[in-house]
Structure 1
Amino acid sequence: MANWNDPRTGRNGLGASSGLRGDVAGQATTFDAGLRRHMLSIYNYMASGVLLSGVIALLFARSGMAASVMTGGLGWLIILSPLAIVMAMSFGANRFSTGTLQAMFWGFATLMGLSLSTVFLVYTGGSIAATFFATSGAFAGLSLFGYTTKKDLSGMGSFLIMGVVGLIIASVINMFLQSPGLMWAVSFLGVLIFAGLTAYDTQMLKRQYYAVRGTEFAGKAIVLGALSLYLDFINMFQFLLMFMGQRD
């Protein structure tokens, strides 16, 4: 009882508490900085891939080669090759090195650029640019929502994936039916589904960081995350172009 009010006791207790809080705050700050750096790397890869695809698409269309190449068998090979790369990256991520995945991502973006060159043969440059900026704004807003929202979006995943499968089936069917009504319905649903996937994928990538940080898979996660967001952006752009695009 003699030292209950000893000022040294109070200072020691306060100092220990403050030190603990300082350590926790420092760890949180470091963690947040790591998360921001991780997500920024994903966005940089994704944006660079979109830019590369856009430049290649424009140059390939302007060269006149797209009009001849994309209408033949080689055109189908170019169109289907990106899908093969996506499947290889998704299912073989554990076997490939980070450098290999990076090379595959740039190869994918290049082939997508060749494939997307057809939009410059169908739509005016002004409407393509307007759609691109509209998609960019929508993507930024949706991704920011997915990053900042406290709402758990994981329940949307199965529904959205089923929606993508439905879009693919409907698109294949419409290749034979050539129904304008079905085309507009697919385009409308496509915009909604990939808008939802943008927010969903962003939140999932943010959560994934907690599991991969400090592991050798962290570098691979950046490339695969960029691929996911790239696909969300490009698909939303293509479906939105159905509404906003003006034909030549």
Structure 2
Amino acid sequence: MENRLHTAYQGVSGAVIERNRVLRNTYMLLGLSMLPTVAGALVGVQTKFWMLFAGSPIMAPLLFLAGAFGFMWAIGKNRDSGLGVGLLLAFTFFMGLMLSVSLSAALRFSNGGTLIAMAAGGTGIIFASLATLATVTKKDFSFMGKFLFIGLVLLFAASIANIFFAIPALSLTISAIAVLLFSAYILYDISQIVNGGETNYVIATLQLYLDIYNVFVHLLNLLMAFGGERD
């Protein structure tokens, strides 16, 4: 009986150590992924990357979707190797490049720098708060998965439709819902790591990166719509 209890304790202890390792590696890789994101954004802003799509605005979302899904597929295929990490960092550079389109739009406002800083600060507060909640409480939020996925599908469909209709009110609605949805995804994804639902730190990093990226972009869109100041 004593041996069985000791073995069970070792099993539980080993599982906790493994989950902490995945969470630690995820946070480290997530922090590292911000460097190529910033580099890509700076390159995009300096080279006026957005001008490539000035004549055909629909090309930007199409390029984004093609590149994002291509990278995500490749990362998933190589999740257990060093190549997966390299692809993830290349992906974050690409995402930074695409982010420069939104940043350039913000910088055309006289208070653009302030709007970007506010969006970054707001995203940081949301992430820190929800990450702390999921980590400290260790509550299992896996029950949210089905509802979040349905919301994501509906949001994606609405976003695709608005590429063609370009309705300002719908754009603002999409951004407001996206901030709430991806904030909930932060809580869900960290909970998955803490409770052993996600054991691969490359995939965990990819999921959290996309959550943070989308919260920032849509928060910036809302700030530009309601707080942007023209010269």
Q: Give the TM-score normalised by structure 1.
A: 0.76
Does residue 163 of structure 2 align to residue 175 of structure 1?
Answer: yes
The correspondence for 2:141, drawn from 150, 153, 159, is 153
Contact 2:135/2:190 (<8 A) preserved: yes
Q: 2:184 matched to which residue of 1?
A: 196
The letter for the 2-side match of 1:164 is: L
Distance 1:172 1:75 in 2: 12
Distance 1:108 1:247 in 2: 32
Correspondences of 1:131-142 after superposition (within 5 Å)? 131-142=119-130
Distance 1:83 1:125, change over 3 A: farther
Alpha-carbon deviation of 1:122? 0.6
Q: 2:202 matched to which residue of 1?
A: 223
Alpha-carbon deviation of 1:27? 7.2
Distance 1:106 1:208, change over 3 A: same
The correspondence for 2:92, drawn from 105, 109, 121, is 109
User: What are the ranges of 5 or more consecutive residues in structure 2 without an aligned counterpart?
Assistant: 107-111
Distance 1:187 1:76, change over 3 A: closer
User: More deviation in 237-246 or 197-206?
Assistant: 237-246
Q: Give the TM-score normalised by structure 2.
A: 0.81
The correspondence for 1:39, drawn from 23, 29, 36, is 23
Distance 1:40 1:71, change over 3 A: farther
Contact 1:197/1:232 (<8 A) preserved: yes
Distance 1:20 1:165, change over 3 A: closer
The letter for the 2-side match of 1:55 is: A
Q: How many residues align?
A: 219
Distance 1:136 1:160 in 2: 21
Correspondences of 1:64-83 after superposition (within 5 Å)? 64-71=47-54, 78-79=63-64, 80-83=66-69
Q: 1:11 matched to which residue of 2?
A: none
Aligned-pair RMSD on alpha carbons? 2.9
Distance 1:173 1:20, change over 3 A: closer
Query: For residues 18-74 of structure 1, what are the alpha-carbon distances to aligned partners after superposition, in whole Å with 9 as ceiling and x for unaligned?
Result: x9999987876665444333211101111221332123202320x234143344688
Contact 1:58/1:117 (<8 A) preserved: yes
Distance 1:81 1:247 in 2: 32
Contact 2:39/2:96 (<8 A) preserved: yes
Distance 1:172 1:27, change over 3 A: closer
User: What are the ranges of 5 or more consecutive residues in structure 1 without an aligned counterpart?
Assistant: 1-16, 213-220
Q: 1:207 matched to which residue of 2?
A: 195
